[in-house]
Amino acid sequence: MNQLDYTDKMDLVTRQLGNGGVFLNTGSLDAPNTMTIGWGSVGVYWGKPVFVVMVRYSRHSFKAINEMKNFTVSIPLHDMKKELGYCGTRSGREGDKFAACGLTAEAAQSVAAPIVGECELHYECKVIAKQSMEPTLVCPDILQRYYGDGDFHTYFYGEIVNCYEK
């Protein structure tokens, strides 16, 4: 385990978010869930290092992250396009995505949500704020392209409490 400053691998995180996505993990070891996200950001909010993730109300992960108040982000540094594709197109309501993809839910070091054992880079986060998307403040072209069905996101601001490479 190699402890990192959350900024050490930012170029890799940004590149992977925009090129196939990363795993957003919620739940617990007893009931793990993962989904693929391609939208997110890391920055400083309220003087704290924060990973911001967006989750639609309709997603299975929404309930878990909203109730548990923590999540992890696992970033693959090798090709996991097949697994990311599966986890980005299936719901945890339909079954165990970890099992379906041959992924291992491992205990995180600082939060209840698991990490994806096959990934090398991990961020562990505690939710410190959440914000519902306000549709009237979104550009019309974005609304039309991404929210035609009215299924908006909630932004979850997760204080990064741990970052490491396995």
| The pLDDT of residue 109 | 97
Please write the tens of the pLDDT for every residue from 114-153. Answer: 999 999 999 999 999 999 999 999 999 999 999 999 999 9
Q: What is the mean pLDDT of residues 104-110?
A: 98
Alpha helices (H) in the chain, listed in sequence order: 10-18, 60-68, 81-89, 97-101, 140-146
Please write the tens of the pLDDT for every residue from 7-47. Answer: 999 999 999 999 999 999 999 999 999 999 999 999 999 99
Mean per-residue pLDDT over the chain, rounded: 96
Q: What are 15's two structure tokens?
A: 């590149």
Among 46, 24, 33, 5, CA closest to 159: 46
User: Which domains occur in the chain, in start order?
Assistant: 2-165 (2.30.110.10)
Q: What is the mean pLDDT of residues 33-62?
A: 96
Q: Which of 92 and 46 is assigned the larger pLDDT? A: 46
